[in-house]
Amino acid sequence: MERNVLNTLVFSVFVVLFFTSISSSASSQYQTLVVNTLPSSATLSWPESKSFSDESVSESTTSLSVHLSHVDALSSFSDASPVDLFKLRLQRDSLRVKSITSLAAVSTGRNATKRTPRSAGGFSGAVISGLSQGSGEYFMRLGVGTPATNVYMVLDTGSDVVWLQCSPCKACYNQSDVIFDPKKSKTFATVPCGSRLCRRLDDSSECVTRRSKTCLYQVSYGDGSFTEGDFSTETLTFHGARVDHVPLGCGHDNEGLFVGAAGLLGLGRGGLSFPSQTKSRYNGKFSYCLVDRTSSGSSSKPPSTIVFGNDAVPKTSVFTPLLTNPKLDTFYYLQLLGISVGGSRVPGVSESQFKLDATGNGGVIIDSGTSVTRLTQSAYVALRDAFRLGATKLKRAPSYSLFDTCFDLSGMTTVKVPTVVFHFGGGEVSLPASNYLIPVNTEGRFCFAFAGTMGSLSIIGNIQQQGFRVAYDLVGSRVGFLSRAC
C-alpha cells in the first residue's frame, strides 16, 4: 500500500516537472507581440520649452529627474505622416551608418581623408526622441552660457566633441531656438592656441596655418556634414545642475544634416566627450532609457531619460565588458558571442564574425544614433533565416526599404514570434518582441528590424535598445542592460 502511494507520488512529481519543462521551453522559444501599427496621423506634440536660470541650479546636485517629450515638431517635417517620418528615419539611418563606417575606415588607415575627431554627484535630463530629425534621433534641453541660452542638443554616443552653432554665422542651418551669442555670456572663454586643451584635438595645426591666436576645431562627418569654429569653454546648465568650464566647439560655419537642434552633446568614449570631461564629478557614468520611437512621454508611457553619476548604473544590470579599439577611442565596442532565435543558438552566428582585430577592423559597437542594428552580412543572413524558419506560421509580406523579411499581420491583435537573445561576454540580453518586429505602415505590415552590412563593423541600434536602461561605466570599462527600467 505504502509502495503504491510512493510510486503514485513519484509519478505525479515527474509529470509536473515534465510539463513545467515543456512550458519553460515553449516560453523560451516564443513570445507575444502586440500588433500596433503606425498611427495614420501625427499624434505627437512639441513639449513646453524649459528654461534654465542661474537661480534654480546647483554646482553639486546629486540627482535630478526631468520629464521627457517627443521631438517631432522640432523639424520642418513636423506635419508629415508617421509613415513618411519613418521613411525619412530610414534614409537618415543609412547616412548615419555610412558616417560611422567612414570614421572607422579613417581610423584604420583605409581612407586617406583628413579628419578632426568629434570629439560622486549626478543629474538626469530630458531626452527627446524624433522620427523627423536630420541630425539624430534623441535630443536634450539645456542652457548654454551665463545667462543661459536655452537650446536643444543631439545626444550622440558616436561623437566626442561637444559643439553648437554660434553667432556671427558664416553659414548656419535653421534651428528651433535663438543661436547662441558668445558675446552675451559672462562665462564664455576661447581656448588659446598651443594650450594643453587645444593640443588634445587631433589636428591643432590650424593654429599655425591660419596664424590664429584662438584654437580652432573642425568636425567632419561621413555624410558630408561638418562644423567648424572656435574651440572654447563654457557653462552648461541642466535642469537643477550647472557644469562649468565644459570644452566645446563654438561653430560659425555649420553645414549638413543638423536641422532643428543647436548642436551636439558628444557622449563618446574619447577624452573630449562630455562624460570624460566631467569624470571627476560624475565618475564617468551615464545611462539612458529610450521609450519606443512613437511615444510622446504621455502619462500612459514612461518618458525617455538620461542620467549622469553613480545612480546612472543600476547594480542589477546585465554587464558586458568594453573592448578597446587601439586605433579609435570614440566608439563603445562590445563582445558579442552569438545570438539565439527561438531558444537555440543560431549556428551561423559566432564570435569570430564580430571580432575586433589588432588593426581596429571589425568589432561590434553600441550606438544611440543608429536606429536599425547592422550585422556583418554572413551573420545577418544566418539570423534572418533562423527567424524566418521560426515564423513560418506568419503570413509573409513584400520587402520594405532595407528590410527583406516582412509579414502581413493585418487583422490580428497579438501573434507569437520567435524569441531573440543577444549573448554578450558576461551575460544575455533577451529582446522584447517589439524591439525586432516593427510596424512600417498603417496596414499591418511588420518587418524584422535587422539588416546586413558588407563591411566588417556591426552596430547595435536604438530600436533594439528601447525599453532598456543602457548604462555606460567608463571607469569600470563596462556597459550594462536593465530591461523595463524607463
- Give 48 or 83, the one with higher predicted confidence: 83
Cell of 145: 552660457
Question: What pLDDT does residue 444 have?
Answer: 96
Please, what are the domains in the chain? 30-35+80-106+315-485 (2.40.70.10), 123-281 (2.40.70.10)
**Cβ-proximal residues to 126 (8 Å cutoff; 6+ apart), any chain:** 47, 50, 66, 67, 68, 69, 140, 141, 239, 303, 304, 305, 306
How much of the chain exceeds pLDDT 90, in percent? Answer: 54
Q: Of 223, 230, 367, 473, which is the active-site residue?
A: 367
pTM: 0.87
Our answer to whether residue 156 is catalytic in this structure is yes
106-164 pLDDT, tens digit per residue, is 666 543 333 333 334 565 554 544 333 334 578 888 999 999 999 988 888 999 999 99
Position 354 scores a pLDDT of 97
Model pLDDT for residues 152-189, shown as the tens digit of each residue: 888 889 999 999 999 999 999 888 899 999 999 999 99
- Report the Cα 168 to chain-centroid distance in Å: 32
Q: Which of 93, 156, 311, 473 is catalytic?
A: 156
Cβ atoms within 10 Å of 483's Cβ, excluding its own: 14
23 or 101, greater pLDDT: 101
Q: Tens digit of pLDDT for each residue in 299-308?
A: 566 778 889 9
Query: Which of 184, 182, 161, 141 shows the shortest CA–CA distance to 248?
Result: 161
